[in-house]
Chains A and B, each alone.
Chain A
């Protein structure tokens, strides 16, 4: 207990007495934590955008005017059962007309023409959303397959807009896949390089004490007693860096939230506030692990004897 107390005290003293080195080390840990924070926010933006785009992709089956309801229901049920399908919504021809009228409420000639016809010229339609973008193709294939045809659907379907959307869907799914892979690789690269730089900064800080580590051992200090204060210093680097990073991201995300929400599609300030606790835990954990492990490894090199 006394030893632990002494180790902690020595760590604090070293931290304050080597102030310029401490500042450099803290700033370097801040850099790493900032990279991690930026990546977390970027991931949020990326996933939010991808979800929005994915949400906009769908396949619609338009039915002939007067297609019997029972056949449509039969087709809807069999499509719902496909494992790739997330959601199927049916819009009846009456609803389709209502939506059409609402949309063209200010377009007098169109409404007048519609009134002139007297009957409903619009068929109903099924809107299908797949779980994954790549699955639209298999849904479209199902519609062309024997199973769907045997339900008599060929006689009621006017058109399926998948083939018109195919190019866009294919391209989107390539872009989304690529963005994920690139995002992951970029994250990996940035995190690894920051960790290396931080590790080396701390190693340099400890290199200065290289000879003293040997002296401490020669005057009879145990390895743990020599290493302990350095690890406490590492811990302090991590804690202080976490707080600096967390505080610095308030104005940064506030500015992004105020000025970039339309562009990014997501209010980063709100995201930061609502995920503050998770960010705090991730950064504190990363900062402490980075500081302590770097110190541990750096001292180990000079503790051979």
Chain B
């Protein structure tokens, strides 16, 4: 599904990705682990075309994502759900509206939005926070809302970039379980983290990065 072909990314005075090549198949759960600055976030940004590679190509299925025109890029992003460490919720929209926004962006009807949003909020245990604004939610609730937003359009791929970085162990466990459940339902999941404990608890494929390079790729950590 995802194919990185000798991808490098150089910033002015540092190397974020150094000749990275790997493949992720459809339906896989892949944890990318490494210290901060190892290149994990840059890697996910490449898939989302939030960054362009200095060298190499990134494919989503058969699409060279960095050659996409504006309109097609929007379509690609609509096939991917993203969860960020800092949640990146829309601060002046309520929990309900944050999720509705993602559906509106895809041109879903008002009826679909009315029926799906409460359902997905129920899935992440936020049914009673429908009309809360992000600043009225706790860290764990924000992240669950972000996950609800990421899965609402049934994407083929979920990218979770350090989703537990700002959370306590209880909330971390909860988020990881939700992501595993999403993966069980057939969605490909890419999870980046610096926390080896999480990686072990997941028990799936682990890609270890250091200084922009992949130093280990183990199929199963358990």
Contact = CB atoms under 8 A, between A and B. Distances in A.
B149 A221 contact: no
A247 interface: no
A221 B88 contact: no
Interface stretch (B14-22, B98-106, B204-212): B98-106
Interface string A1-24: 011001000000110011000000
A91 to B, nearest CB: 77
Contacts of B77: 217-220
Nearest to A303: B70
Interface in B28-82: 48-50, 70-71, 73-75, 77-78, 80, 82
Contacts of A18: 92
A219 B149 contact: yes
Given A215-B88, A220-B78, A225 B104 contact: yes
B109 to A, nearest CB: 7
A211 B92 CA distance: 13
A305 interface: yes
Contact of A212 (B71, B78, B90, B107): B90
Interface in B141-167: 149, 153
B174 interface: no
B138 interface: no
Contacts of B92: 13-14, 17-18
Interface string A262-293: 00000000000000000000000000000000
A270 B106 CA distance: 54
A168 to B, nearest CB: 65
Given A2-B110, A216-B101, A222 B71 contact: yes
B115 interface: no
Contacts of A305: 49-50, 73
B79 to A, nearest CB: 8
Nearest to B149: A219
A219 B48 contact: no
A300 B205 CA distance: 40
Contacts of A211: 88
Contacts of A219: 77, 82, 101-102, 105, 149
A223 interface: yes
A13 B90 CA distance: 13
B93 to A, nearest CB: 8
A2 B112 CA distance: 13
Contact of B74 (A6, A14, A214, A222): A222
A223 B75 CA distance: 12
Contacts of A218: 48, 50, 77, 82, 88
A221 B49 contact: no
B174 to A, nearest CB: 22
Interface string B103-131: 01111011000000000000000000000
A4 to B, nearest CB: 12
A216 B70 CA distance: 14
A2 B109 CA distance: 8
B50 A216 contact: no
Contact of A221 (B70, B82, B97, B105): B105
B60 to A, nearest CB: 14
Closest 4 CB pairs of A and B: A220-B78, A221-B105, A220-B77, A17-B92
Interface of A: 2-3, 6, 13-14, 17-18, 211-212, 214-223, 225, 305
13 contacts: A2-B107, A2-B109, A3-B104, A3-B107, A13-B97, A14-B92, A212-B91, A215-B88, A215-B90, A219-B77, A220-B75, A222-B105, A305-B49
